[in-house]
Structure 1
Amino acid sequence: MSEDQSRRSFLTKGALLSGGLALGTGLLSACGKDKPGAAAANGPPRAGGKARIAIIAGAQTGNLDAHKPLGTGSFRGWALYAKLWEWDREAHPGLALAEFTEVNDDATKWTIRLRKGLEFHHGKSIRAEDVIYSLRRLTDPALASPYGSYLPSLQRDGIKALDPLTVTIPFEQGHGLAALPELWMSWGGIVPTDYDPVTNPVGAGPYRLKNFTPGQRSTFSKFENYYKPGQPYLDEVEIIDFKDPISRLQAMQTGQVDVAPTIAFEQLAFFKSSDQFEVVSSQTDAWHGFAMNLSKAPFNDPRVAKAFRLIADRPELVKRVLHGQGRVANDLYAPSDPTFDRTIPQRTRDLAEARSLLRSAGHGGGLTVELVTTAGAGGNAGIVFAQQAREAGVEVKIKLVDDSIFAGPDKNNWTFSTIVGVSRPFLLTLQQHDGPRSAGNKTHFQDAEFTRLVTEAAAQPDVEKRKGLVGAAQRIQHDRGGLLIWGFSNNQEAVSRNIGGVTPDRTAFSAWRTDALWRRA
């Protein structure tokens, strides 16, 4: 899978794939109606016990590879592997295995020192050689991990150990990387030099692997020498794969499951009324939109792309596609990033201006476009937008394709398609989606001034100095980019009242933090 598609696919299938289109106004709210329960972690965490986590795997079997996770492999990776940094609950990076990190003035050299006394699951001490091995493995062309492409300016042959616990990591001159924590973290599991994802899947995460049956379940036992004192709390974690939200719901109803990350919208009513479960709702920056391929007609005319952004009724899309569980977006991602420019005016619907732009672009007699998407939220968004577009004289024909085709070789070549992104900072999302070095640029957005600005921003360690560069780049995105981002979705997780440690989390993955889970009874 390219990009961090496994995470986005998980969000889509868990919450949206089976989610129906809201046609009325009686929508559920994830806020203010949840009953207090154990998931709110009443009292101090208790040690011992087991938690069973149910994930939607579809037809995917997944794997255990730290650097090239497939299917639901990313979820298992949170239990099995530890990184130099980890996401905090506001989706910002914080130190984990690393005790100290430092970047030079142009972000072409990072120095990282490990904590003392760290161990892998099999007892080997974690040393600089393991950090070097892990980073080189991630970026090895032979492995062909899509996440290695997030570090395009890395000088992998120049990575060196200064001492047993300290490494230096160099980047190309003129292409420094101040955002190394964000771009490396999620796929940066530190593994030993004798690592093998099949025969020796050893990490330093909160749990060590006990057994793994692809496509069915995996069981992990507590790692006593985990780097966080007193954690993890549970003796065992079991991750169970389900084909769809319905089968998972049935398992929860019969008490076979304790935690269900990212539940479907239409299941909220059941969980909110249940005495067994609590719904933990998180406001996230996970975004939903449409990608306009600016290299192809009709979007190679900037007037058409601008018209489509003016056609969108964003509040209606949030209401009907997300069932009200979200908020309106402004064609820009990463609103929680400290560099986000909040002075850019919110774009609103303007059909008169949209029609005028289309007429000036030669489409006064009408325009027909094909929207490529998948069943679920994408298809629902397509239906709503198609209804909105007819009012501007645009016919949107929806083409539903299988997930494997949508994410296949043609994924970046569709003229008009749906797109989603997870809740992450600006420079990471840029590298994933529409940046000058992005391997997943469905919009084919190219702009010399934008490239200059984001290249300078990526090499600027000073956040205050970076703000002006990012703000100027975002104004170009907002004016000339190819992303029509209409909304941000909330994330809901159903948690047994016997389980604590699942709390609101902007990353949308609170239940993935297995080191924080504990059993009340």
Structure 2
Amino acid sequence: MREFPRPFNRPALPGATDLTRRVLLAGTGGGALSLLLAACGAGGGAPLTGADSGAPQAGTGASAAASVPPRRGGTLRAGSPPPPTAVDPVTMYDGSAIAIVQLVADYLIWLDRDFTLKPRLAEKWESEDGGKRWAFTLRKGVTFSDGTPLDAEIVKASFDRLLDPKSKSAALSAFDTVLAKGGVSVRDAATVVFTLERTFSDFPYLVSAGNYNAVILKKDYAGDFTKKPIGTGPFLLESYDASSGATFTRNPKYWEPGKPYLDGVKITFYADDQADLLALQSGEIDAQILSRPQLVGPLKGLGDITVDQVQGTGLTAFTLRTDRPPFDRKEARQAVAYALDRPGVNATVYDGIGALGNDHLFAPLFPAAPDGIAQRAKDPAKVAELLGGQPLKFTLTYDPPSKDYALTVQNQLKQAGIQVELDQRTSADFYGGDQEKDTPWLFSTANLVGWAGRATPSQFIIPMVKGGGVWNGSKYANPDVDAAADAYDAAQTPEERATQAEIIAKALHEDVPLIVSVWSGTVRAYNGRKFTGIQAHPSSYVDFSSVSQVV
């Protein structure tokens, strides 16, 4: 079974299929919360730099087209699994649907592959009232593909829709405790204002592409996106068939001068990974929307195939119950952490593309991630010291997508003298039961939960390790972490944020309520001799506006 992170705004729900795991790493709650205020600009949006200048960017691998100037024309043929549900920007959660929407619609802010924020429909944004209110200034001259001008009322309507529980939007949990229905207002035709429930200095990330449902739609949007595909993005959806694919043509009204370079994009749906890969190898398609690292990794540097890769913020949390034996003893939790060979986990489970984790919730991509905590490494002597000659045995509960990880953990801990009994459940069982008292993913002694990437660390910290957090499977409680998490969200400078991040990270690293061995990475394979400007993205997002032909 192909492994993919859970939907960005929550772990997988009972009954999830393999296709529902084809989801993004960064977005609402997608799974998954901290980035520099300076990146989003307390005084405005980040300036455009080289990657935004329009020059195609080359991936790693076979392509020799790194400095080739853009060539207009041509159609990019891409392969993707079919969306498991209707393509609706408000409720979508899978990678294929999100890719289709992102070709047609746009965001206030783009979340770039290095997790910086880039102005799109908003030219700038600034905080007011100590970070509890945010004002966004819209780009001038933007129109929808049907000629409707973009204004603040349209943006307000888009977020009012997402904040309405009746919409069943996948974005709702991203705004939980931060922005409530009624919190969006219009200052003037070009300025939309968000008044928050509490100070949240990373708020721009929640209205960026990091919250993948936050695309801006017309006020009268009522569903049926594939039948009425109106947006401000670089392409127009010309046709859509749920079983075969979709075709797109250049949007002549696109707001960015000279883009897109392509005449169009054609997406073909393939039922499985092997068929998608064979289509790429045979030249039937030019690129993949969702690439599987274990399949495309061996193709790096072979023939025409280029494989671009990038770090992400998804993780598999190895959660330990701190309120029951044997993990009510910190020494037992630390022993498990020191018994793991993290590079081995990365190589076995993630095909080596991940970044090593250090048992806290600040991925290396997060600008506030502390760099002064020594990387925890396998240390058999330390394990023996911590256990003091006492045996350690426990049961590890998980669902099928985490099987490889579970087997790797079992084998590695066995070498350290720690006995692990594996308890595999169906996904429906693992996430089923009473969420308040007995669901396995929150109440078993030790478990593995796959989390899709988040746009900011707080989206991990608040639900997973704050006292009383809704997804606090370790039952961890530390007043110092709670206070630092609140201070982190309210911080007004990168320096303040870094100070609080270090407090949180050091506490989690020491207490080990959960083990983070590896942060995910993402790859994208394409024909590097025919096209340039195609990149991997931490959330598997697509931005084909800068893609151009090579030959």
* TM-score, structure 1 as length reference: 0.84
SS of residue matched to 2:147: coil
Identity score, percent: 22
CA contact (8 A) 1:79 1:207 kept: yes
Single out whichever of 208-217 and 108-117 deviates more from structure 2: 208-217
Alignment correspondent of 1:262: 291
User: RMSD between aligned alpha carbons?
Assistant: 3.1
1:70 maps onto 2:98 in alignment: no
Candidates 369, 390, 412, aligned match of 1:388: 412
User: Contact 1:156–1:170 at 8 Å: present in 2 too?
Assistant: no
Aligned residue in 2 for 1:131 = 155
Single out whichever of 289-298 and 322-331 deviates more from structure 2. Answer: 289-298
Deviation at 1:189, TM superposition (A): 0.7
Partner residue of 1:498 out of 530, 533, 538: 530
Amino acid across the alignment from 2:457: F
> For 2:248 and 2:423, how far apart are their aligned partners in 1?
41
Check whether the contact 2:163–2:180 (CA below 8 A) recurs between aligned residues: no
> For 2:145 and 2:474, how far apart are their aligned partners in 1?
43
Contact 1:8–1:420 (Cα < 8 Å) also in 2: no
Q: CA-to-partner distance for each residue in 1:301-323, whole Å, 9 max, x for gaps?
A: 43433222122111222233233
For residues 432 and 260 of structure 2, what CA distance do their matches in structure 1 show? Answer: 38
**Aligned positions, number:** 490
The answer for the alignment partner of 2:447 in structure 1 is 416
Higher mean displacement: 191-200 or 389-398: 389-398
Deviation (angstroms), 1:193? 0.7
- Provide the secondary structure at the position in 2 that maps to 1:269: helix
AA aligned to 1:272 is: G
Secondary structure class of the residue paired with 1:195: coil
How far is the alpha carbon of 1:435 from its aligned partner? 5.3
8 Å CA contact 2:322, 2:513 repeated in 1: yes
Whether 2:398 is the aligned partner of 1:372: answer: yes
**Equivalent residue number for residue 339 of structure 2:** 311
How far has the Cα of 1:281 moved from its partner?
3.1
Matches of 2:186 and 2:408 in 1, distance apart? Answer: 55
Q: Please give the residue correspondences for 1:15-414 in structure 2 after superposition, counting only pairs within 5 Å.
A: 34-38=61-65, 40=66, 42-56=67-81, 61-71=84-94, 72-151=96-175, 152-172=177-197, 175-185=198-208, 186=211, 187-198=213-224, 200-260=228-288, 261-270=290-299, 272-274=301-303, 276-294=304-322, 297-332=325-360, 333-358=362-387, 364-375=390-401, 378-402=402-426, 410=439, 411-414=441-444
Can you list the C-alpha shifts for 1:467-510, whole angstroms capped at 9, x where unaligned? 111211111222225331112344332211211112465x3637
Q: Which residue of 1 aligns with 2:546?
A: 516
TM-score, normalization by structure 2: 0.80
Look up the match of 1:449. 480
C-alpha distance 479-237 of structure 1, shift in aligned 2 (>3 A): same
User: Do the aligned partners of residues 267 and 184 (structure 1) sit closer, same or farther apart at CA in structure 2, a change above 3 Å counting?
Assistant: same
Q: Secondary structure at the match of 2:301?
A: helix
Separation (CA, whole Å) in 2 of partners of 1:301 and 1:338: 32
Task: Give the 3-state SS of the residue equivalent to 1:126 in structure 2.
Answer: coil
Greater Cα shift, 262-271 or 106-115: 262-271
CA contact (8 A) 1:374 1:406 kept: no
Query: Among residues 11, 18, 22, which one is paired with 1:10 in the alignment?
Result: 22
> Structure 1 residue 205: deviation in Å?
1.8
Give me the whole-angstrom Cα distance separating, in 2, the residues matched to 1:231 and 1:431: 40
Unaligned runs of 5+ in 1: 14-30
Return the letter of the residue paired with 2:513: G
TM superposition shift of 1:81: 1.9
Equivalents in 2 of 1:491, 1:4: separation in Å?
A: 20
Is the 8 Å Cα contact of residues 319 and 514 (structure 2) preserved in structure 1? yes
SS of the aligned residue for 1:247 comes to helix
Q: Secondary structure at the match of 1:156?
A: coil
Residues 94 and 133 of structure 1, relative CA distance in 2, 3 Å threshold: same
Matched, 1:485 2:501: no
Q: 1:134 to 1:484 in 2, by over 3 A?
A: same
Classify 1:255/1:33 alpha carbon distance in 2 versus 1 (closer, same or farther; 3 Å): closer
Further displaced range: 339-348 or 392-401: 392-401
Which SS does the other structure have where 1:516 is aligned? coil
Cα distance between partner residues in 2 of 1:366 and 1:460: 41
* SS at structure 1 position matched to 2:488: helix
**Does the aligned pair in 2 maintain the 1:61–1:216 contact within 8 Å?**
no
Aligned to 1:17: none
1:287 deviates by: 3.8
CA distance in 1, matches of 2:413, 2:428: 28
Counterpart AA for 2:21: S
Identify if the C-alpha distance between structure 1 residues 194 and 433 changes in structure 2 by more than 3 Å, giving closer, same or farther. Answer: farther
Q: Would you say the 8 A contact 1:501–1:516 is kept in 2?
A: yes
- Matching residue's letter, 1:55: S
Contact 2:108 2:207 in 1 (8 A): no
Q: Go from structure 1 to structure 2 and tell me whether the alpha carbon gap of 1:181 and 1:429 turns closer, same or farther (over 3 Å shift).
A: farther
Contact 1:310 1:354 in 2 (8 A): yes
* 1:253 partner letter: Q
Give the match's secondary structure for 1:34.
coil
Q: Residues 423 and 8 of structure 1: is their aligned pair in 2 closer, same or farther, counting only changes over 3 Å?
A: farther
Question: Residues of 1 paired with 2:409 and 2:143: CA distance?
Answer: 52
Cα distance in 1 for partners of 2:363, 2:489 equals 15
SS in 1 for 2:71: coil
Q: 1:136 to 1:244 in 2, by over 3 A?
A: same
Q: 1:146 to 1:450 in 2, by over 3 A?
A: farther
